[in-house]
Amino acid sequence: MNKNKSNLQLCTALGLLMFSGFSFAESAITGLHFLHKDWELACDNTGTCRAAGYQAEDHLARPVSVLLQRAAGAHARVSARVKIDAAHIPAQRKPLQLSMLGRSYGTVALDLRSGEGQLSAAQTKALLKAVQSAQPVVWTADDAGWALSSAGASAVLLKMDDFQKRVGTPSALARKGMQSNAGVLKMQPLPLVQIKNYQRGIAKRLNVNAAPAQQLAARLKKSAPKEGCWALYEGSYLPEDQIAIYPLNRQNVLVEAPCWRAAYNYGYGYWVMDKALMQTRQFVTASASSFSEGQIFAAQKGRGIADCGSQDEWAWNGSRFVKTYQAIQAQCKGFTGGAWDMPLLISKVQAAQ
């Protein structure tokens, strides 16, 4: 495979996953992702925002991250958690000493399995002040220390305020004012997606080079863009590649076909078709990873092994697949797979009774 083509395919796929497709019919709120220096922000379709800060690039040997989370609503409070990479938790298992704004702010106890600890209300308030005034925020335990970077924090917190319509109000974090809180974004209910009219069954698998598979591929290409599914167009397959046909119900099947491969990623395309495999009723995605129990899952790495990336999920609602989850981890800074979940779209998915 051409290396430049592989890299282009990866970038295209991740771009589509990360920054497009935000059509949330179930909610009036559209998710937001924002990245600036050592901080990033993800706000979801309920109005909840999560801001994550990390250590600076010259402190990568001491991974630390803070997650600031706030729901929509004028009276919603900010919660803060700190996380130390499990491999770097002090052997003595002592609480972390927190220092900022020129003084000590007590300790934070870490969960030994997750490496996470909850900050108190007073610690959270002081941390918000410190990162916006570029003051050091340092956790220590014995002879070890972890320094949180403030670079990008002010921009991220201002973006959070803007998303939640707090700018200029008393509830703002970055730019307080005396405007009424009446216009602050209100919390939206969690959308419910029920998996309906789904009948599990044994998948039928076709070798990609067999005549039936090639005939089916010709039909699939009519709804899949070439730049997103070049393997299907060029017949560029591995010897073990297959096209899978999963039963959905009496009228529909789900077809899975290889679409692309890159250095650390691959993408399968998914199509809803009639049982005769003559009519395409929905093209879902060209960058998913698997199908199970009425749901399609996608997980793509941003750069390399154990690095950041994106996750997407779709569920069968009885007539089509609808997106139910989307998350991005744009920077991991030493945390395998990311320190936190940073969703842009969340839903409650359940099987219909």
Question: Does the residue 22 lie in any domain?
Answer: no
How many structural domains compose the chain? 2
pLDDT at position 90 is 66
Question: Does the residue 196 lie in any domain?
Answer: yes
CA 226/CA 223 separation, integer angstroms? 9
pLDDT at position 208 is 95
Question: Does the residue 23 lie in any domain?
Answer: no
Residue labelled with tokens 């290396």 = 3
Q: Single out the residue in 124, 155, 183 at which a domain terminates.
A: 183
| 122 in the same domain as 94 | yes
The distance from CA 38 to its chain's CA centroid, rounded to whole angstroms, is: 17
Please say whether the dihedral angle defined by the alpha carbons of residues 331, 297, 344 and 52, taken in this order, is positive or negative.
Answer: negative
Question: Around 59, how many Cα atoms within 13 Å sit in the side-chain half-sphere?
Answer: 18
| 337 in the same domain as 262 | yes
Is the pTM higher than 0.85? The answer reads yes
| 255 in the same domain as 141 | no
CA distances from 172 to 130, 135, 269 (A): 16, 20, 43
| 234 in the same domain as 138 | no
User: Which domain CATH number covers 127?
Assistant: 2.60.40
DSSP H or E stretch at residue 253: strand 252-261
348-351 and 295-301 strand pairing? unpaired
| 226 in the same domain as 122 | no
pLDDT at position 263 is 77
CA distances from 119 to 63, 93, 95, 96 (A): 18, 17, 12, 11
- For 66, residues 6+ apart whose C-beta sits below 8 A from its C-beta are 52, 53, 80, 81, 82, 83, 127, 137, 148
Residue 302 is encoded by which pair of tokens? Answer: 């941003």
**pLDDT tens string 111-168:** 888 899 999 999 999 999 999 999 999 999 888 899 999 999 999 999 999 999 999 9
CA 221/CA 326 separation, integer angstroms? 26
Per-residue pLDDT of the chain (353 residues; tens, 9 = 90+): 343 333 333 333 333 333 333 334 444 799 999 999 999 999 999 999 999 999 998 887 889 999 999 999 999 999 999 999 877 676 666 789 999 999 999 999 998 888 999 999 999 999 999 999 999 999 998 888 999 999 999 999 999 999 999 999 999 999 999 999 999 999 999 999 999 999 999 999 999 999 999 999 999 999 999 999 999 999 989 999 999 999 999 999 999 999 999 877 899 999 999 999 999 999 999 999 999 999 999 998 765 444 688 999 999 999 999 999 999 988 888 888 889 999 999 999 999 98
| 221 in the same domain as 73 | no
Domain holding 106, by residue range, is 36-183
| 225 in the same domain as 163 | no
Please say whether the dihedral angle defined by the alpha carbons of residues 206, 272, 350 and 16, taken in this order, is positive or negative.
Answer: positive
For 102-140, give the DSSP string: TEEEEEEPPPTTT-EEEPPHHHHHHHHHHHHTT--EEEE
**pLDDT tens string 282-309:** 999 999 999 999 999 999 876 544 468 8
| 93 in the same domain as 202 | no
192-195 and 348-351 strand pairing? parallel
